[in-house]
Amino acid sequence: MTESREEGSFFKKWAMRQYWRMQQSQAVVSLLLWGTTITLLVWPLIEWRFAAGCTSGPCFSEEVFGISSTYFALSGIFFTVMLSVLTIGFLYDRVFSLWTEWRSVDMERNPYVTYALAPIWVMNIALQAELLKRTSPDDEAMVAQAEWYLKWCERNTEGEMFARAVQRWDQDMGETPTFWFTTDEAMQRARQTSFEDDS
């Protein structure tokens, strides 16, 4: 049961990583695709206005400065689409401010903003909790809370994020010490974690 759950988790993470990689170029690629697609859809509707057989309505010369007017028309359509997208983006940002709600939902769904800790936060919180314990040894409630923070930090040393951090620290600065809020065994597990997605 546990193995099938881990396999499912690995597959989901692998799939999400590939999706993330595609998203990195999505903004630029989607703009270009939208621009070219709409340009090529609109062009057949107005192409006749740039042909020699145009006899009614606004007609345009077949050439401008010796260059086919088709190129100018296609460029005009493309940049009109881009300007429309920019206008929608401006309305989205400055008029409706929808990005604030989107960011709120994004933060709510981010485990590293709600209940999980990235390595940098593990180090910061553990250090603050330890200082709190040492400076308030007579305050039992405060010491109990500091212990809870340290337990939280210790739990987060079992995750992949911390394992990646330890391996990188080892690589960049030599062997990482065993921190006061974790154990030698946890540090060893972090070093032995393999990341199959790095290839």
pLDDT in tens, 10-48: 888 889 889 988 888 888 898 899 899 999 999 999 888
- Tell me whether residue 199 is in a domain: no
Termini Cα distance of the chain? 28
pLDDT at position 199: 46
Q: What is the pTM of this model?
A: 0.59
pLDDT along the chain (199 residues), means of 10: 61 88 87 92 90 83 85 93 92 87 89 92 96 95 96 94 96 96 96 78
Of the three residues 91, 109, 127, the one that is the final residue of a domain is 109
For 13, the domain range is 2-109
Of the three residues 60, 94, 109, the one that is the final residue of a domain is 109
Of the three residues 60, 84, 109, the one that is the final residue of a domain is 109
Residues 124 and 156 in one domain: yes
